[in-house]
Amino acid sequence: MKTITIGSDHAGYGLKLKIIDHLKNDLGWDVIDVGTDNENSCDYPVFADAVCKNIQNGVTELGILICGTGIGMSMAANKHRGIRAAACSDVFSARLTREHNNANVLCFGERVVGYGVACDLVDAFLGATFAGGKHQRRVDQITALEETER
């Protein structure tokens, strides 16, 4: 069985619960939920960090982050070495970010997409595989940027 790590801030909490249900009951994934556990105001970088650390430490290969727009989560996630997070609000982008960019974190916003679209994004992201080839060269260039910026 595949396992994924998921996290949200208060603005993504309600949708996160529904996505966890979709992952478990419709797709058969195990889910590690790193929080938040309620709708009280909190800071999204904390949860982006927890999801990314699980990926960096090999606990899971993929993650999902949900906030109000998905943008803040993706910005925080992309500060982590080896993380390629993409904020997506359409299925085409969610699929291609895996196929072309080998993204390992999908981000979206509860204030931007509804439950149906969110499920479609998750399905497209998890159903896609990295195409390699010329795309590997480009992902390698992204990785090289991490080395030069330290």
CA 125 to chain CA centroid, nearest Å: 9
Nearest partner of 96 among 128, 136, 62, 143, judged by Cα:
128
One-letter amino acid for residue 75 of the chain: M
Write down the catalytic residue from 67, 88, 107, 119.
Answer: 67
CA distance 128 to 15: 22
Is 135 one of the catalytic residues?
Answer: no
Nearest partner of 63 among 33, 99, 42, judged by Cα:
33
CB 57 within 8 A of CB 50: no
Is 22 one of the catalytic residues?
Answer: no
Write down the catalytic residue from 22, 42, 100, 135.
Answer: 100
Ordered strands of the 63-67 beta sheet: 30-33, 3-8, 63-67, 105-109, 85-87
Active site (catalytic) residues: 67, 100
